[in-house]
A and B are shown apart, each in its own frame.
Chain A
Amino acid sequence: MKIFRGEIHVIKERCKQCRLCINLCPTQVLQESEEVNEKGYHLPELIEEPEKGKICVACGFCQIICPEYAIWVEEKKEETPTEKK
Chain B
Amino acid sequence: MSKQISKEEKLEELHPMDKWLRSERMPHIWCPGCGIGPTLYAWARALDRVGIDKDKVVYVSGIGCSGRGSGYLNVDGFHTTHGRAIPFAIGIKLAKPELCVNVISGDGDLFSIGGNHFIHACRRNDDLLVICINNFIYGMTGGQLAPTTPRGQYATTAPYGNIEHPFNTPHVADASGAVYVARWTSIHVRRLEKSIAEALTMKGFRYIEVLSPCPVNYGRRNKLPEPDDIAEWFRQSSVVRNGADTSEVQIEKDKPLILGNFVKRVEKLTYYEGLKKLEERVRGAR
Give the interface of A toward B (CB within 8 A). 9, 11, 13-14, 16-20, 23-24, 41, 63-72
Give the interface of B toward A (CB within 8 A). 13-18, 21, 26-28, 30-38, 41-42, 45, 187, 189-190, 193, 215, 226-228, 231-232, 235
Given A18-B32, A20-B33, A64-B189; A69-B41 close (CB under 8 Å) = yes
A19-B14 Cα distance, complex, nearest whole Å:
20
Contact call B227/A63, Cβ cutoff below 8 A: no
A23 contact from B30, B32, B228, Cβ within 8 A: B228
| Shortest CB distance B20–A (Å) | 9
Contact call A69/B18, Cβ cutoff below 8 A: yes
Contact call A23/B16, Cβ cutoff below 8 A: no
- 6 more contacts with CB within 8 A, not counting A20-B231, A63-B16, are A11-B14, A67-B36, A69-B15, A69-B37, A71-B15, A72-B16
Provide a sorted-by-A list of 22 A–B residue pairs whose CB atoms are within 8 angstroms.
A11-B14, A14-B27, A16-B31, A17-B32, A18-B228, A20-B33, A20-B227, A20-B231, A24-B231, A63-B16, A64-B41, A64-B45, A64-B190, A65-B189, A66-B37, A66-B38, A67-B35, A68-B28, A68-B37, A69-B18, A70-B27, A71-B15
A16 contact from B13, B32, B36, B193, Cβ within 8 A: B32
Interfacial chain A residues near B228, Cβ < 8 Å: 18-20, 23
A32-B74 Cα distance, complex, nearest whole Å:
31
Contact call B16/A67, Cβ cutoff below 8 A: no
A11-B227 Cα distance, complex, nearest whole Å:
19
Interfacial chain A residues near B34, Cβ < 8 Å: 67
Interfacial chain A residues near B27, Cβ < 8 Å: 13-14, 16, 68, 70
In the complex, what residue of chain A is closest to B39 when comparing beta carbons? A67
A69-B19 Cα distance, complex, nearest whole Å:
11
A13-B56 Cα distance, complex, nearest whole Å:
32
Contact call B32/A67, Cβ cutoff below 8 A: yes
Contact call B15/A67, Cβ cutoff below 8 A: no
Contact call A67/B33, Cβ cutoff below 8 A: yes
| Shortest CB distance A14–B (Å) | 5
A11-B26 Cα distance, complex, nearest whole Å:
11
Q: Which 3 A-B pairs have the closest CB atoms?
A: A67-B37, A18-B227, A16-B32
Interfacial chain A residues near B35, Cβ < 8 Å: 67
B227 contact from A9, A19, A64, A70, Cβ within 8 A: A19
Interfacial chain B residues near A19, Cβ < 8 Å: 33, 226-228
Interfacial chain B residues near A23, Cβ < 8 Å: 228, 231-232
A42-B203 Cα distance, complex, nearest whole Å:
45
Interfacial chain A residues near B14, Cβ < 8 Å: 11
In the complex, what residue of chain A is closest to B45 when comparing beta carbons? A64
A8-B235 Cα distance, complex, nearest whole Å:
24
| Shortest CB distance B87–A (Å) | 29
Interfacial chain B residues near A69, Cβ < 8 Å: 15, 17-18, 21, 26, 37, 41
A19-B90 Cα distance, complex, nearest whole Å:
39
A71-B26 Cα distance, complex, nearest whole Å:
13
A54-B35 Cα distance, complex, nearest whole Å:
28
Interfacial chain A residues near B42, Cβ < 8 Å: 64
Interfacial chain A residues near B37, Cβ < 8 Å: 66-69
Contact call A64/B15, Cβ cutoff below 8 A: no
| Shortest CB distance A41–B (Å) | 8
| Shortest CB distance A23–B (Å) | 5
